Amino acid sequence: MSRHRIVRGMDYNDEYDGYDDVYGHSVDDDCVSPTDQQWLYDRARGQQSMSAFIKKNKNIEEEAEDDDEDDDDEAYQKARRDSENFQMPELDDIAQAKLSSCVDEVRSVVGDAVSERRIVETSMRFDYDIQKILDDILNEETNKKEKEKRPQKLKLNATTPATKSSTTPKPTPTKITLSAVKDARRGFDIASPKAPSSPNVSGRNTPVEGGDEAGRGSTTIFKVSKDQAQRNAQQLYEQERATQKSHIHMIVIGHVDAGKSTLMGHLLYDTGNVSQRVMHKHEQESKKLGKQSFMYAWVLDETGEERARGITMDVGQSRIETKTKIVTLLDAPGHKDFIPNMISGATQADVALLVVDATRGEFESGFELGGQTREHAILVRSLGVNQLGVVINKLDTVGWSKERFQEIVHKLKSFLKQAGFKESDVSFTPCSGLTGENLTKAAQEPALKAWYEGPNLLEVIEHFKVPERAIDRPLRMSVSDIYKGTGSGFCISGRIETGALCVNDKVLVGASREQAQVKSLSMDELTQTSVFAGDQVSVTLAGIDVNNITVGCIICDPQMPIPVTTRFQCRIIVFNVKVPITMGYPVLLHHQSLIEPAVVCKLTASIHKSTGEVVKKKPRCLGQNSCALVEVETSRPICIERYSDFKELGRIMLRVAGVTIAAGMVTKIR
């Protein structure tokens, strides 16, 4: 109930201070009874070493769980102690790796509610089979819950399916007041203070986060409707999307004139997304201009300028449906000057398709220093795309030569490995965008058929894995376009990075934290009532002036607003630069769709690339291929998140004079 706190005069730097420590602790840390306190290990209280604590408390008598209600608390502490005191069993390297990945996996499902020991033990018992381990742990937890029905417990286990509403809870009166007090201190559940007494209310799916976030944004508490505050995004998602095909966003990148638009245009035509009539029109018109080879590209290049010049300038969007997926195609411009547009497109993408021109000389010029094949690949990798399909295009111009194909594959493989792509996540497909060979049907051309037996392009797209969507996180949406919609109000479009958004939700817009209301939602021209992380949507907003919203700003949840800052620390990797980066170096900061002038105002330390050790404090300058901690200052406040909190929103790019000089992730926000 943070609205009862005096928030106006609060120094919220202090609030931030505890931010990191709180994560992973229980909700009731702050108000354990003094008797309980002596059994708790607490770093903050100056009990310096864990071993000292263990020695001191060697013979803690563990009480039976079912004594009475109060003992539950003790049992819970015990569980926590378990996980903190617990030492990993000694294993050989492989088993160790298996175990840790197993624990991570389980953690991501059950959260911090289950002790480490329990996970490790279960993992070892089931021989690292995630499915079985989860089953076991979850069953156990549900059983326990039914038995206990303790409010805190419930909230902590919120990620496990919250059911069993039939059995009534029987908390003692004292217990209720206690939990109410706790809630007040934490500012946990704004909309429903009585929530803990009802068993199946699980407000947010990430309880610990909730406490923190409310503390963070507590300067401005915005009221939201009860529905919005209590929504369970995951459940909603399952309800609405269970029957649908999974969505994936794919960006098509590559050097200028590699044939990206033509390839996509042809793919759209072949999959039946462009009607015969429209195609015929394009053919006739392009013939008139004497550019018949551009007829497929015109499907995506719609502006007069793009058609006249024969190059893509802004990201074109379209979608195709495969057997198992709905794929949104983002056709990026290849020209050097339009890389900012390409970056804004790439931030919305899950996977990428790299198109290279197989013609002799063309591949080389695109691949050598200064060519966009390199820069694009590095850019999408730094923007978090890790699955890449490489399309060797225009192979018909070299007579479907196997040698040429392999030569290119060889060159690209070593480069992509360097850029940080895993070999298993990269595939190579020969095809021709203009003739349509090997796009949707298996190879027909005898010359290609002779040596190629792999999948066609559509199958490659089909094989991309759908990444995890962070649906149960607070809402974040980045705005990539603002336009006048049909009817009243104006529309913004962009991608929901995390969380969910429903019609009539209240949201905060941008660095000014202006409040607005969602009037309607649409996705691919279809009206929706709710949209989820990973979706590309258009939102009609009301209650806000169009001038208060700019391309690149972030829309967020009023209860858990995004931090706004002008100065932040980040860890960057410097690419090939002509001149070194020094203090006071003016750069363009790219963050999602936002482009903002910024200054590198402090070089904190240069870091060793692989080990992360500090090589030199306060270096004078950063040269090529170095890695460093720097502070960046923007002229206007921007919305940004730490990489550790929101991966999607913690990535930045620094560019100077049309060249990407560094990519980084935000480590600290001032």
Partner 1 sequence: MKLLGKYVDKGMQGNVTLVPEEPEDMWHAYNLIAEGDSVRSTTIRKVQNETATGSSTSSRVRTTLTIAVEAIDFDTQACVLRLKGRNIEENQFVKMGAYHTLDLELNRKFELRKPEWDTIALERIDMACDPTQSADVAAVVMQEGLAHVCLITASMTLVRSKIEVSIPRKRKGYVQQHEKGLAKFYEQVMQSILRHVNFEIVKCVLIASPGFVRDQFYDYMFQQAVKMDYKVLLDNKSRFMLVHASSGFKHSLKEVLQDPAVVAKMSDTKAAGEVKALEQFYMMLQCEPAKAYYGKKHVLRAAEAQSIETLLISDNLFRCQDVNLRKEYVNLVESVRDAGGEVKIFSSMHISGEQLAQLTGVAAILRFPMPELEDSDDDDDDDGAAGGDNSDSD
- Name the residue nearer to partner 1 (CB basis): 102 or 268: 268
The contact pattern for partner 1, residues 524-563, with x = CB under 8 A and - = no contact, is ----------------------x---xx------------
Burial class (CB in 10 A: 0-12, 13-18, 19+), 85: middle
Query: Phi and psi for 382 in degrees, rounded to 5?
Result: -70, -20
The contact pattern for partner 1, residues 635-664, with x = CB under 8 A and - = no contact, is --------------------xxxxx-----
In the complex, least distance from residue 436 CB atom to partner 1, rounded to whole angstroms = 22
Helix, strand, coil percentages in the chain from 3-state DSSP, rounded to 5: 35, 25, 40
- Name the residue nearer to partner 1 (CB basis): 448 or 639: 639
Distance CA 41, CA 84 (A): 9
- Name residue 251's beta-bridge partners: 330, 352
Distance CA 403, CA 422 (A): 24
- Which one of residues 169, 193, 310, 580 is an interface residue with partner 1 (CB under 8 A)? 580
In the complex, least distance from residue 318 CB atom to partner 1, rounded to whole angstroms = 7
- In sequence order, which ranges of 347-477 are alpha helices (DSSP H)? 362-367, 372-382, 402-419, 446-449, 457-463
- Which one of residues 197, 218, 235, 317 is an interface residue with partner 1 (CB under 8 A)? 317
Distance CA 37, CA 15 (A): 23
- Which one of residues 43, 147, 287, 617 is an interface residue with partner 1 (CB under 8 A)? 617
- Name the residue nearer to partner 1 (CB basis): 74 or 535: 535
Q: Could you tell me whether strands 246-254 and 325-331 are parallel, antiparallel, or unpaired per DSSP bridges?
A: parallel
Query: Phi and psi for 84 in degrees, rounded to 5?
Result: -85, -35
- Name the residue nearer to partner 1 (CB basis): 85 or 550: 550
DSSP secondary structure letters along 150-173: -HHHHHHTTTS-----SSPP---H
Task: Find all residues with CB under 8 Å of 200, minimum gap 6, and list them.
Answer: 162, 163, 164, 165
620 binds partner 1 (CB under 8 A): yes
Burial class (CB in 10 A: 0-12, 13-18, 19+), 386: middle
- Which one of residues 200, 597, 608, 644 is an interface residue with partner 1 (CB under 8 A)? 597
- Name the residue nearer to partner 1 (CB basis): 340 or 455: 340
In the complex, least distance from residue 547 CB atom to partner 1, rounded to whole angstroms = 9
Residue found under tokens 């962070």: 470
In the complex, least distance from residue 391 CB atom to partner 1, rounded to whole angstroms = 23
Binding to partner 1, residues 330-369 (CB under 8 A): 335, 337-338, 340
In the complex, least distance from residue 396 CB atom to partner 1, rounded to whole angstroms = 29
In the complex, least distance from residue 635 CB atom to partner 1, rounded to whole angstroms = 10
Considering only 250-258, 307-315, 321-329, 354-362, which stretch makes contact with partner 1 by CB under 8 A? 307-315
Is there a contact between 377 and 388 (Cβ–Cβ < 8 Å)?
A: yes
- Which one of residues 318, 429, 478, 536 is an interface residue with partner 1 (CB under 8 A)? 318
- Which one of residues 316, 371, 510, 561 is an interface residue with partner 1 (CB under 8 A)? 316
Alpha-carbon separation of residue 218 from 139, 202, 289 (angstroms): 37, 21, 61
H-helix or E-strand spanning residue 603: strand 594-607
- Name the residue nearer to partner 1 (CB basis): 232 or 634: 634
| Total site size for partner 1, rule CB under 8 A | 49
- Which one of residues 176, 221, 236, 313 is an interface residue with partner 1 (CB under 8 A)? 313
In the complex, least distance from residue 660 CB atom to partner 1, rounded to whole angstroms = 11
What is the 3-class SS of 286-300, one letter each residue? HHHCCCHHHCCHHHC
Please tell me what DSSP assigns to residue 24.
Answer: T
Binding site for partner 1 (CB under 8 A): 302-306, 309, 313-318, 335, 337-338, 340, 480-484, 493, 546, 550-551, 577-580, 582-586, 588, 595, 597, 599, 601, 617-618, 620-621, 623, 655-659
